[in-house]
Structures are given as structure tokens and as C-alpha cells.
Amino acid sequence: MKKKSILITGITGNAGKNAAKYFLKKGYEVTGFSRNATKDPFFKENNIVVYDLDLLAFIKQEQKIPFTEANMVYHTAAYVLGKTREEKEIMRKINVDATLKLYSWAIDAGVKDFVFLSSVSIYDYPFKNKPIREDHPKKPRYFYAKTKLEAETKLLALYESVVKKEKVPKLSILRPCYIVGRDDRNFAPQFIGRLLREDLPMIGNGNNLMSFVHSKDLAKATLVVIDRDSQKPEDFNVVSFTKTFYEFFKPFADYFKVKFPSKKYPYWLAYIAGVIIQTYKKMVGKDPSLGISTYRVKTLSTDRIYDTEKIEKLGYKPEFNYHTVFEEILQDIKEHPNRYGLLFNKTQPI
């Protein structure tokens, strides 16, 4: 076995690809798998083997992980969109069942460390305008977050059930906030895209705090947590920087010369609209977590900041700030305008 080797699930995504870049620089042999074959030249140019592995087939034992050597597993793969009942079932199988099966595989393969990428969305309201610690009550409000909490809970139960019988991988759970960075296909395309199309609402005065983490800082956090002395499972919030809603989006509006905010609503009005819309969606069998909902209203208007003292005591210090993320998003818009619902002639030159 190589002295330093890592298996990254979901390696073609934002968290996975940036982790691959980070671990290559740290001298790791990097291997990964993804649901779809990748044509990204980065992996071939850096001698990274990417296996095609469908987690649903993996659960059914129709596919197997084609090797058994890795010191560490960094599990970033997840299913995010679940509108229909069938899609939600797929989400649960991938986010929960596949995670447990992967940890079982790691036990059999003699993996030393297993790092699971969860989410801060598992925390309950109210936040009470103070940083959320890892022991904050858990009550996820939408299905994706529920699957993440279920995966955490069952991982811990699986660990406890076998730790006295055999040697098991040390289990670390990272809870990132909004993940940003190159190859982001979620936060920036959704929210910056709406801003550039002048369709991003601002609820309240825009002074609510939002926390962000760069995907390479997440990779750095994995090295920090696996080096801790304790062998017990632990969970960690991970943040790179915090900005108000206004501070984050206004520079993009100024750069591209678009109106900001294009839509502004008082909190009370937006919340009432969220109650009405999500109630109607429940009545007709639609997913109430999509579109306007009380959860999204709170997300876009209340402070969401997270205590990172626990991981900082282990030596974690973020390397990325707002300026670097701003520049990366600009570059991403230039290279992939359709991700943002744009054509080049609709934006200013970058």
C-alpha cells in the first residue's frame, strides 16, 4: 500500500475535484470514482484514476469498488435534487445506504481514516444570532438535510457496533456551510445566476450574515481532523469566511452593472408567502422545500454563522477569503456562462 493514498468519492464535483488538487500537492496518490465517465483532462494529466461507479449499483452489489488499497476515504458524493417521491428514494439510498456500505467496505479494506462530508443544514432553528456549535440541536427542515443527519446517525451506530470487535477506520464528520470554489455547480450558479438575471430577492435589509467554505479549505480540514490524537468519532463545522448578504452579492452587481436588489421584500411578507406556498405544495403533493418556503425565507434573511473553535483547536486555519472566491466565480462565469443562465453578450467583459 502506498504511504499516502486517498479515495475520493464524487471526485468530479466541486468538493471532490478541488480535494484531488489539494491532496496531489500534499504528495498523496489520488484515486476516485464518479457516477458518470469524465472527459476532464485534469485527471489524466495528473495520473488520477477515476473509476465509473454508480452508487445505486454499488448498494445492490451489481458493481464493486475495483481496488482495496487506500489509507483514507473522503466521501463527498451525494444526491442533491429530489423533487418526486422516486427521486427522494434515490437520494436516501445514495446519501444514507451507500454511505453505510462504503464505510463497511472501508472496514474490510483496512482503511485508516473515513471522512464524511455532511452539512450544516441539519441544525435546528432558532439560531439566536450566535455562532452554532456542533452540539446545537438537530432538526433538518428539508429532505436532503434529513438524509445527511440520518447518514451521520447510522454511521456512528455502525462504528459503535463493530469498534470492539475489530479495527475500524477513524470516523470524522465535516459539516460545511455554503461550498464555493472552482467547479461549483450549486451555490454560485444558482444565486449569482439569479443576481445577473436580476431575479435575486433580498429579504429584509441584507445585513444577515452568511458563512462560506472553499472546497480546498474543506480538503485542508480533512488532513487536520485525521491527525487528531483521539480515535473517537467527532463532528466539525468548517468555514472559510462570513459576509452579509449585501456584502457578498453587491460587488458582483457592481461589476456586471446589474440592479441590486432587483426584488426587495420585508421579512413578514416573505414569510407569510412562504407559509401559503409550501402549504399549497403539500396539498398537491409537491416538494415544499423547493422554491419559496419558510426555510428559504429564513435562510436568506437570518444570520447563519457557525462556531469553528473545535476544529481551530486542532490547527485549522482557512486559506481562502472573499476576494479569492470573487475572482474564481468571475473566471467560472467567463468559462461556463450557461451554468449561470447567461450568454456572453449579456455580461460585461471579464
| Chain segment 89-145, per-residue pLDDT in tens | 999 999 999 999 999 999 999 999 999 999 999 998 766 668 999 999 999 988 899
What percent of the chain shows pLDDT beyond 90? 58
Q: What are the beta bridge partners of residue 29?
A: 5
User: Does residue 211 carry a pLDDT above 90?
Assistant: yes
Q: What is the mean pLDDT of the chain?
A: 88
By CB atoms closer than 10 A (0-12, 13-18, 19+), residue 114 is buried
Nearest to 347 by CA among 46, 227, 336: 336
Residue 295 has pLDDT above 70, yes or no: no
Closest by alpha carbon to 214, among 306, 318, 100, 304?
318
Largest CA distance in the chain: 63
Q: What is the pLDDT of residue 341?
A: 84
User: Which pLDDT belongs to residue 291?
Assistant: 59
Residue 98 near residue 58, CB atoms below 8 Å: yes
Q: Which residue has the higher pLDDT, 205 or 282?
A: 205
pLDDT for the residue 114: 97
For residues 30-42, give the mean pLDDT. Answer: 83
325, burial (CB in 10 Å: exposed 0-12, middle 13-18, buried 19+): buried
Q: Is the dihedral of CA 150, 153, 159, 161 positive or negative?
A: negative
Query: Residue 345's pLDDT is what?
Result: 46
Query: Looking at residue 68, what is its pLDDT?
Result: 67
Report the pLDDT value the prediction gives residue 264, as an integer from 0 to 100. Answer: 81
Q: Which amino acid is it at 290?
A: L
Assign a CATH topology to domain 5-184+211-240+304-321. Rossmann fold (3.40.50)
Can you give the length of the chain in residues? 350
- With bands split at pLDDT 50, 70 and 90, how would you rate the model's confidence at 258? very high
Name the pLDDT band for 270 (thresholds 50, 70, 90): confident
Tell me the per-residue pLDDT of 310-347, one tens digit each, with 9 for 90 and over: 999 999 999 999 999 999 999 999 998 988 887 544 44
pLDDT of residue 18: 94
pLDDT band, residue 204 (cuts 50/70/90): confident
